[in-house]
Homo-oligomer: A and B are copies of this chain.
Amino acid sequence: MAMDFPIPDGYRVLESETVAAVLAEIPKLVAVLGGVPGDWSVREVSDGNMNRVFLVEGPSGGVAAKQALPWIRVVEDWKFPISRIDFEVAALRQTAAFAPGRVPQVLAYVPALGLAVLELLKPHIVLREGLVAGRVYPKLADQVGDFLALSLYRGSDFALDTETKKALLARFAGNAHLCATTEDVVFTGPYDAGPLNRWTSPQLDDDVRALHGDTEAKLAAAELKWRFRTATESLIHGDLHTGSFMVTESDIRAIDFEWALYGPMGFDIGALIGNLLLAWISQAGHAEERSEDRRPVTDWLEQAIPALWERFVAGFLDLAERETGGGQFPAALFPERAPVTAALSRFLDHVWRDAVGFAGSKMIRRLVGISHVADFEAIADPDLRAGRERIALRLARSLTVERDRYSDPVALVRAVNAALR
C-alpha cells in the first residue's frame, strides 16, 4: 500500500547538531535545561523502530526530544505519517490526566517538526533491558496494575459521559493508519508468508510452516483483530510491551503512545503480559549462555503476572465505586453495590479472556513476524534461542486458540511452568 502522508511546511529531519537550536527557541525548555545552548549536551538514542530520540542535558536538567520521521526509522522506504506524534502528545496528556505521574510530562510540542519534547526520565531504563539483564522489579506489579486500572477505567464509558467519550473516540479515530498497521503486523502478517517476516531459521522452519497452514490459529487471530477494530472500551496505549515502560527500582513510566486508540482494554493488558511471558520463557536461554542463575527473575515473574492482574482488578473495582460519571450503573437503579460489583467482575473476566488472546497474538508476532525482541535476540546461540522460541510459540498459539483453558492468571502461570518443564 503506497500512501502519501502530508509533511508539514518547514519540516526537516533533526540531527544531533541542529536539535539544540530548536529547543533554544522555547523559553520553557531553556528554563528546564539552564545555561545557554552551548552548555547543552545532545545525544541521539533512537532505540525503538519508529522515531528519532535525542536526550538533551543542560546545567539545570534534561529533556527527551522525540521526532517523528516521515518514514519508519528502521525501514526508510516504509512511509509513515508524521501525524502520529500528534496522537502521541494527545494520548500522553490524556493519560497524564487519568493516571498522574505515570507518563513523562509533555514540555513542548512543535507540530511543524513532528517534535515532542518530554520530561527526561532518569535514571530510568527500558523495562525490557532490565528483564534481559535479569533484574527484578518488586514494585512493578502494583505500579503497573494501578496504572492500568486508572488509565483504562478513566478512559471508559464507566467513567466518562457519552459526549466526552465520543469526543475522545473521534479524536483518536484519526490515528487510523497506525491502527491499520497494528492490525497488519499483529493479526495478519505473522500468519502469512510475507517477505518481511523472519524467524530463527532453519531451526523454526517447520514450526513456521505449520503456523502458516494453521487455520484455527488464523481464525483466532481474525477474531482478536475484530475485537481490536470494533471494541471501543477505553483509550488504550496500543503497543504496551516491555519496551514501552521506563523503570527504576521504584518507578515506572509508560512511553511511546503513538499507537493510541480507542480499543479493547485487554489489548494493553495482553500486550504487557505476553511480553512478560517472552521475558520469562527466554530467561533460561540467558542463564545457559551467560552461566547465570536466573531463578530470581523467573520466580519474580511467576508471582508478578498474577499480582499485576489482581492489582488491576482491585483498582478498577475501587474506581468503579467512586467515579461513576459514565452513568453505566446509575445509583437510582442500583441502590445496592453488590450486584454492580458482580457485573463488573463478569466484565473483568471478559477483559481477562481478551488479554489472554492478545497476549498470544503479541507473542507470535514477536517470534515469527516483522519485529522481534531483545529477550530472544540477545541469545546468540541459534539452537538455544530457537528452543526457547519454540516453547513460547506453542504456548502463544494455545493462548489465542484455547483461551478458555486460561480462566485466570493462576491457570496461565501453571501452563507456563508446564511448558518450561
Q: Which residues of A contact B (CB under 8 A)?
A: 157, 161-163, 165-167, 169-171, 173-174, 176-177, 179-180, 183, 188, 191-193, 215, 218-219, 222-223, 225-226, 229-233, 327-330, 332-334, 336, 339, 343, 347
Hey, which chain B residues are within 8 Å of A222, CB to CB? 328-329, 333, 343
Measured CB to CB, the nearest residue on chain B to A219 is B343
Hey, which chain B residues are within 8 Å of A332, CB to CB? 192-193
Hey, which chain B residues are within 8 Å of A219, CB to CB? 339, 343
| Complex CA distance for A170 and B168, rounded to whole angstroms | 9
Q: Is the CB of B233 within 8 A of A230?
A: yes
Hey, which chain B residues are within 8 Å of A347, CB to CB? 226
Hey, which chain B residues are within 8 Å of A218, CB to CB? 333-334
Q: Is the CB of A173 within 8 A of B176?
A: no
* Residue in B165, B215, B233 whose beta carbon sits within 8 Å of that of A334 in the complex: B215
Hey, which chain B residues are within 8 Å of A232, CB to CB? 230-232
Measured CB to CB, the nearest residue on chain B to A1 is B161
Hey, which chain B residues are within 8 Å of A162, CB to CB? 176-177, 179-180, 183, 229
Hey, which chain B residues are within 8 Å of A231, CB to CB? 230-232
- Tell me the smallest distance from the CB of A180 to a CB of chain B, in Å: 4
- Tell me the smallest distance from the CB of A159 to a CB of chain B, in Å: 12
| Complex CA distance for A179 and B232, rounded to whole angstroms | 15
Hey, which chain B residues are within 8 Å of A188, CB to CB? 327, 330, 333
| Complex CA distance for A394 and B177, rounded to whole angstroms | 47
Measured CB to CB, the nearest residue on chain B to A3 is B163
Measured CB to CB, the nearest residue on chain B to A164 is B176
| Complex CA distance for A92 and B102, rounded to whole angstroms | 44
- Tell me the smallest distance from the CB of A317 to a CB of chain B, in Å: 16
Q: Is the CB of A166 within 8 A of B173?
A: yes
Per DSSP, chain A at the interface is: helix
Hey, which chain B residues are within 8 Å of A165, CB to CB? 176, 229
Hey, which chain B residues are within 8 Å of A177, CB to CB? 162-163
Hey, which chain B residues are within 8 Å of A169, CB to CB? 169-170, 173
Measured CB to CB, the nearest residue on chain B to A218 is B333
Measured CB to CB, the nearest residue on chain B to A343 is B219
Hey, which chain B residues are within 8 Å of A225, CB to CB? 328
Q: Is the CB of B157 within 8 A of A180?
A: no
Q: Chain B CB within 10 Å — which of A166, A174, A219, A233 has the most?
A: A166
| Complex CA distance for A169 and B261, rounded to whole angstroms | 12
Measured CB to CB, the nearest residue on chain B to A346 is B223
Measured CB to CB, the nearest residue on chain B to A223 is B343
| Complex CA distance for A312 and B173, rounded to whole angstroms | 29
Hey, which chain B residues are within 8 Å of A223, CB to CB? 343
Apart from the given pairs A169-B173, A222-B343, A232-B232, 13 other A-B contacts in the complex at a CB distance below 8 Å: A157-B229, A161-B180, A162-B176, A163-B177, A166-B176, A167-B173, A188-B330, A192-B330, A215-B339, A222-B328, A222-B329, A230-B231, A231-B232
Measured CB to CB, the nearest residue on chain B to A342 is B219
Hey, which chain B residues are within 8 Å of A230, CB to CB? 157, 231-233
Q: Chain B CB within 10 Å — which of A191, A229, A327 has the most?
A: A229
Measured CB to CB, the nearest residue on chain B to A183 is B162
Hey, which chain B residues are within 8 Å of A329, CB to CB? 222
Measured CB to CB, the nearest residue on chain B to A336 is B215
Q: Is the CB of A191 within 8 A of B226?
A: no
Q: 9 closest pairs, A vs B, by CB?
A: A162-B180, A166-B176, A170-B173, A170-B170, A166-B173, A163-B176, A157-B229, A169-B173, A215-B339
Hey, which chain B residues are within 8 Å of A170, CB to CB? 169-171, 173-174
- Tell me the smallest distance from the CB of A385 to a CB of chain B, in Å: 27
- Tell me the smallest distance from the CB of A30 to a CB of chain B, in Å: 37
Hey, which chain B residues are within 8 Å of A180, CB to CB? 161-163
